[in-house]
Amino acid sequence: MKKYNIYLIIKSAIKTTSFMAIISLVFILQSCKKELDVQNPNDPTFGVNVTSESGLADYAKGSTYWNGFTYGNGWLGDSYFSLPWGYHELMGDAIGGGQGSNNQTTTMGVPQKFQADPADASSVFTNPSPQVAIIRSFNTSAASANENNAMKYEWNSMYALIKSCNIMVEQLANVDGLAADKVNAVKAWSYWWKGYAYSQLGSLYYAALVVDKSNTIFSTYVDHNAIITESNKNLNQALTTLKAVSNQTDFNAMITRMTPAQNQVGLGKALTSDQFIRTVNTMLARNIVINKLAPFVNGNPNATIAKASMGVISSADWSAVVALCTAGIKQGDNVFTGRSTAANSFFSATGGTVASLLSISNQTSTYKLSERLVQQFKADDKRRANFSTAKGTFYGDANTNSTRYTLLDGVTENLKGIPILGSRQAGGIEVYIGPTFEENALMLAEAKIRTGAINEGLILIDAVRSYQGAGVAALAGTNLALAPALTELTMERLAALAFRGLSYFDLRRWGWTYSIANGGGRYGSTLLFKNTVFTNATIDYNYMDFWDVPADELDKNPPAAGSAVIKNPNF
Amino acid sequence: MKRLSLFFALLMLSVTTILSQKIITGKVLDETGEALIGANVQAKGTTFGTVTDVEGSYTLTVPTETKFITFTFLGYATTDVPIGSTNVVSTILRSSADILTEVVVTGTGSATSKAKIGISVESIKGDRLSQVAIAGIDQALVGKIPGAQISSVSGNPGDQVNIVLRGINTVQAGTRPMILLDGIEIPFSNLNTLDLTQVERVEVVQGAASASLYGAQGANGVIQIFTKKGTKGTLNINVSTSYANNIYINSGNFGKASLHPYLTDGSGNIVSALASGGFKAGQAITIDPLTGIVPGSGSLAYRYGTNVPGVGSSAPGATENYTRYGILDPRNIADQPYKGSLQYYDHFAQVFQSAPSSNVSLNINGGGDKVDYSFTLANNRNNSALLKDNGYLDRTNLVANIGIELFKNFTLRSITNLVYIDNTMHPNIGAGGGTFYGQGNLNAYVGGVYGFLNTSPFFDLTAKNSDGDYTSYNRASFASVNAFNPFYRLEYTNSDDKRIDIIQNLSANYKVNRFVTLDGRFGLSHRNENAYWTFYNQSLNANTIDQGSWASWYNGSDETGEVDNFQYENTKINFFGSATVKLDFANDLKLGIPLQSTTIGGYDYRNNKYREYDTWGQSLPLNPPINLLSTKQQYAILDYVEPFVTYGFVLDQKFDYSNLFGVGGGFRTDYSSAFGAGSKPFTFPHGNAYLNINSFEFWNGLSKSIPIFRFRAAYGQAGIQPGAFDRYPVITQQPTGNELAYTNQVTSRNPDLDVEVSTEKEIGTDIGVKLFGGNWLKDMNINLTYWERKTDNAIFNQNVPPSTGATKLITNAIGLASNGIQLGIKFTVLTSKNFNWDIITNFGHQSTTITKVNGGDIPLTSFAGSTSLVLTPGAKVGQIFGYKALTSISQARADGSPFIAEAQKANYEIVEGRVVNKATNAIFFSDEASSFGDPNPKLISSIISNMSYKDVISFGFQFDAVTGTHLYNQTNEWMYRDGISSDFAKPVTINGKTAAYSSYYASAYYALGTTSKGVGNNVTKDFFYEDASFVRLRNVTLGFDFSRLVSARWLKKCQLVLSGRNLLTFTNYSGMDPEISSGASNSAFDRGIDHSTIPNLKSYQATLNFSF
């Protein structure tokens, strides 16, 4: 055996060290600690991106529309205007659920009871699974995970919008050199959308939270009236800010940047500060109108509703409405709208709205056009061109969803002179997110009628009908009594404001969605039942007037001491 | 290091003494008389050693006092042979029946005999892997690793298996173990892209204690694949070709009812209830030849409902017969055959076809003195068995494994794997593609299966309409509303999905001297894949236009089609450098104690980069060319890059005291880019010990009957990384029309997120028993391991109050605790000159419980949609929550009140174990949700038998059994909606009358509590939660080698192998295949649901193997 000698030792040492040197080199080349600093190269950050005018505008644009109206609303259609508003329109009986629908679209809008023919006791339908118990039983976090909790969507969307608004204002401190009226534009935008969000929340939920700051949990629940107060507070802050605007160019430039270009069509162009002020005024009026009872049940303007979660509107309220609406949206004003595009749209052309889910043959459409909605349009109303019986009759589940009508795609039908109610074409319909001229006029009309100036009210109804090209006989000067005037008003509100997220609030405040036992109910309705059309049906909806707080919130954010009641005690 | 090696060199000098020597020669053969090349030959107790040459011969100079020569060779029992007077020492090495003599690397860092490790390492030789038709390593491993749950959950070519090695240790990262190829990490998804014939052996370390060496990513265990090297000195040419026919398994005879309850006329024709859709009331219904639908929403009807003329209006079903709820009328019975214009079609026969698959491989290997090489070219093709012309998955592998001894003791090895995969299956029915598909965590999307399952059986899927087109939406009024015809997809879609993988491994090994070995390994794997999908313009299809139903991926707007381009690039770089120092205290240091020390120090660097770029174009013309340029508008959907860098050091010290016992321990410390540059490294300790009781003197008496008896124990920690960006809060870049906008993340990222740490303890024993003398049942080896592990800080998205504007936050929310047992028993049934037979049995059980959920229960949805899962403390991971049918009429609610009032009890009876209303036939489901119980199998086991006669005939089989497992048959539940499941034709006795009541079965879909429909629609009910235990004949193989019959010396092997896979399945599960799962691939929780999944294949295969 060979001996180890010094030569071998050196040779071995050289081999070892050179080998190790190569390895060490690789270490040094590779293991730079800086290499670990990967961050997330794919997405922007507040620190880098939301520090300039353009960055803030891009944030306002995205976080308002996508966080507020898109994210989380994807299971049926793809936006706030198809899903939460879908539930609104179901309860507002503007639409019915289809046979194939799931997740409470088949249960949300099914009345507790109806009688198709008042003279035939056997024409009674009693719902074995009334709405209140069902939507409550699915108000759990587990059901939410399965998209089975109808109550969560509006809550989640509107708080996402509030978060965005809070951050927009907070982020102003990090943007240098922004012109004063651009700052005002961002602030007004933020206050307005927060006011809007609280209005939606306070009008639907029995209690909710005031969230003044981003990334903070607030646990003191307040009742829906306090949420409307919070909405008004923000809307008034918006007014104050808007009134301070002096440089219209700066203001307009910023509003234009914050508004998605796809919306800036038709009435969706950037609002001037004056137009913005008028929109806010109309919204303040809406807050009063939709959150007070103005019962008009079975033709009785003095009906009373028992066990309602809101008070009756007073003459002082009506005066306030008159004042606000007089300073409200004018015909031709730009308002807050949405438009779909072929792609990358915060709501899609085919599924982003209740109307788009309707505007295909009723044999296949997700939602079904309600006979009661069509009923609001007089036989000679030109706006009826939106509806067709030629696509077959849909025979529903022995409920109120059977219908002879299909909502046509107004763009492919090339409808002229009347508002296109539904379309599946990109940009085909203008979606009114905020209030409109028609709503303002009709609120004013109702206030006038209710406060004795019936003819002034009728003139306003005529104005709306004429604006929408209804082509029906004018009401002004026909000396209608209060009840028939209110009938015209209710018809026109449901007709003119169809699919604008208001029908449920209207049915509720007129007392129709309350149970007949409590003084509510809807009378004289058109109903397709057992293959027969009835025209004097009585419907006893009995829908929960204000929803309980969603379980997703309560599970993770239990009410702090001093919180308001979080579950509607009247149902 | 220089000083270190000098020190060792001096050390060597000091122990070197001049000895008198003698020369020993000999030959080493295996049991068949073949020369064993490269076997280690060593003078026992010394460092004098050599290896055998190509003839199996050796020459070795040894000190004169040497008494024994030790022969060792991987896979063979180590043998000591005394040196006789002739100085010629030859031996026959027996292939190792005692697997403890095997040498393993994984989890130990350096090649170590199984007898000297404290952890459990499973190893399996390549030739013991099943040669499956699909030729994937993952499929071949099913049943082979004791304790491991490896399930073949889909029959779609290219889909991955689900692997759960030891419990659920993370929720977010799934159960995928780390995959090493010859010491270098490769992506998990490559497991089924490697060529099975090139596997020399596979080693599996299952737990944290053993995977601790792999640090902050190894907690799910490690599977290491070693590829075949060339044999020095000989040139070998191996050719293998096989052909298989594959058919879907339908062990539950799952299908659609051939009898129906619809309204018919006197002749049995299905007739229209009302004047609707162009039919008169009472007129026989036909399918519109142009639109392919049954028109009218008042046409199709059940025989009974509340509105049947002449029947009356106040029927118990309280619904109309021409609505879907008519099915609930208790008078409806599915007892009428389809007749006249509406015939019954067997959709399963139309859709599920038998499909061929083939394998061809050519391997050339050999080597010279300093070089060994092995080159392989292999091709595998699997046709889709879903629709006849759906396409195939074709894989070509080119492997080169070259080893060179550059200078003495310094070897360089290069292993190159080139993989080319061509998937031509159509989108939604097996095509690769979609967002994040390239990350390898998703199986190909097969959502198109659902549509055919939910098509009414009176539609002929293969029929074309009067325009000559397939129709997409075969709807019939209220029925068949979830239909979508897969043949339509064949006509209107196309996919071109090509993938190239390059896996290059370069390693250098330098045995500096007998103490120090240096090892450097560099690996690069790169996956490049491009999926190009076309959805043709469908606007000329009458059904599409009439129904507004079209095939699409991104284009939800209209039927004008689209082109989608998905580009994936995945690069993984891994460098591992280590130094191993071995020291023998007795021989080297002359300390007089038989202590050996092994020290490993290593550095591990990994760099992954994933890039994806997805674009699409909207609206295609009707005429060619059809490409992105011809679309009307184009969009970028995703431009994404995900870097991940981690590096760390490992130090492991082990002491072995003779063969008696050993202890080892060390730590691994890692930096990770998920935590940024400023973070501290994570350090994971490990330790293990073994005790070979059989090596003590007191055991001598017993060693004849129990030659092996040892204990081992190990402890270790390993980590799982959060997602690359989980700790970096950002805002999202959101394309808006043609502009860009920023949005808030709905799930907030969490800068405080910590690495998930899994801690494990395992104890085990290995026992070798000599059973009988003679040839039969000579011995039995038992390996038993019990393990426990826990993760305190598993990451998941916890719900947050939505009032914060976000709905979830990624956080270290969940505590998990698992335990399990694994047992492997090997019997040497028969050993004789001509006949060998062994049987291996593997058993395993494991279970994971959620110990805590910070911030409250986490409800989540499974991949299966309406099936609810909840992560809640005390429950098992993956437990399904839902509504159970009452089993007793007097059953009480949680608050103690009875479900059924005393006065009502008479209206109910027990039918098939459930409470049923005698008037409505409705099953009474509790409306109080509860858990359906432990989803984990009680026992998984396998029996593997191998026999060979003279190496001419070989016969083997493998049975796998999984007991106590459950599947939620969501597929069936959906088919209950329209009553088209074959269950509906099965008579049931209610209230003394036996008939196939539609209302009884339909209530399982619609009813909940006392409500007959609405709330209960398709919600999770235990009616569909079935025992999915099964026994499966996984493999059966019969081989015959003709080379022994011919005298051609050049022909080493000429073998015909007939084999079958999944030929028999014994189960009570009513679905097609009890083994499948439709959850996300390797999901921690989304398992045990059968939702429109493609069942496994039954394969008959013939293989020809030639060796020259």
Q: Which pLDDT score is estimated for B192?
A: 85
Give B 657-716 residues with CB within 8 A of chain A. Answer: 671-673, 675-677, 679
Q: What is the pLDDT of residues B643-669, one digit of tens each?
A: 999 998 999 999 999 889 999 999 999
pLDDT at B1048: 76
Q: What percent of chain B has pLDDT over 70?
A: 95
pLDDT at residue A509, as a whole number = 98
Choose from B742, B870, B925 for mutation: most chain A CBs within 10 A.
B742
Q: Give residues 265 to 284 of B whose Cβ lies within 8 Å of A.
A: 274, 276-277
Dihedral (CA of A116, A119, A123, A129) sign: positive
CB atoms within 10 A of CB B437: 22
Q: Which residues of A touch B603 (CB under 8 A)?
A: 23, 27, 31
The DSSP 8-state label assigned to residue B160 in this structure reads P
For B1018-1055, write each residue's pLDDT tens digit.
889 999 999 999 999 999 999 999 887 877 778 888 99
Contact A3 B803 (CB under 8 A): no
Nearest to A348 among B13, B556, B742 (CB): B556
Structure letter (DSSP) for residue B1044: G
Find residues 393-452 of chain A whose CB sits inside 8 Å of chain B: 393-398, 424, 426
pLDDT over threshold 80, residue B453 = yes
Contact B212, B218 (CB under 8 A): yes
Q: Are residues A318 and A447 in contact, defined by beta-carbon separation less than 8 angstroms?
A: yes
Q: Is B799 on the interface with A (CB under 8 A)?
A: yes
Q: Is the interface score ipTM higher than 0.90?
A: yes
Strands B966-969 and B1089-1090: parallel
| Integer Cα distance of B264 and A183 in angstroms | 72
DSSP labels for B93-118? Answer: EPB-SSGGG-EE-TTTSS-EEGGG-S
Which residues does chain A have with pLDDT short of 50? 1-5
* Residue B546 contacts residue B526 (beta carbons within 8 Å): no
Give the residue from B460, B389, B481, B459 showing the smallest Cα distance to B429: B389
User: Residue B184: beta bridge partners?
Assistant: B181
Q: Does A2 touch chain B (CB under 8 A)?
A: no
Strand partners, B689: B663, B713
Q: Do B322 and A395 touch (CB under 8 A)?
A: yes
User: Which pLDDT belongs to residue B1003?
Assistant: 95
| Mean pLDDT to the nearest integer, B271-291 | 94
- What pLDDT, on a 0 to 100 scale, did the predictor assign at position B865? 57
Digit-coded pLDDT (tens) for B21-52: 888 888 888 766 667 777 888 887 777 778 78
**pTM for the model:** 0.90
Describe the strand order of the beta sheet including B121-125 as a list of residue ranges.
B121-125, B199-205, B222-227, B178-181, B184-186
Contact criterion met (CB below 8 Å) for B955 and B1039: yes
Cα–Cα distance measured from residue B54 to residue B36, given in angstroms and rounded to the nearest whole number = 8
| The dihedral formed by the CA atoms of A265, A271, A275 and A276, expressed in degrees to the nearest 10 | 130
pLDDT band at B3 (very low <50, low <70, confident <90, very high): very low
- State the average pLDDT for chain B: 89
Chain A residue with minimal CA distance to B729?
A45
- Residue at B121: amino acid letter: V
Which B residues 587-626 touch A at CB under 8 Å?
603, 605, 607, 618
Looking at the complex, report in whole angstroms how far the Cα of residue A314 sits from the nearest Cα belonging to chain B. 32
Answer with the residue of higher pLDDT: B486 or B705.
B486
User: Is the Cβ–Cβ distance between B249 and B1073 less than 8 Å?
Assistant: yes
Q: What is the pLDDT of residues B343-394, one digit of tens each?
A: 999 999 999 999 999 999 999 999 888 899 999 999 999 999 999 899 999 9
Q: pLDDT tens digits, residue range B385-426?
A: 999 899 999 999 999 999 999 988 899 999 999 999 999 999
Q: Would you tell me which residues 901-930 of chain B have a C-beta closer than 8 angstroms to some C-beta of chain A?
A: 927, 929
Say whether residue B302 is in contact with chain A using an 8 A CB cutoff.
no
Judge whether residue B759 has pLDDT over 60: yes
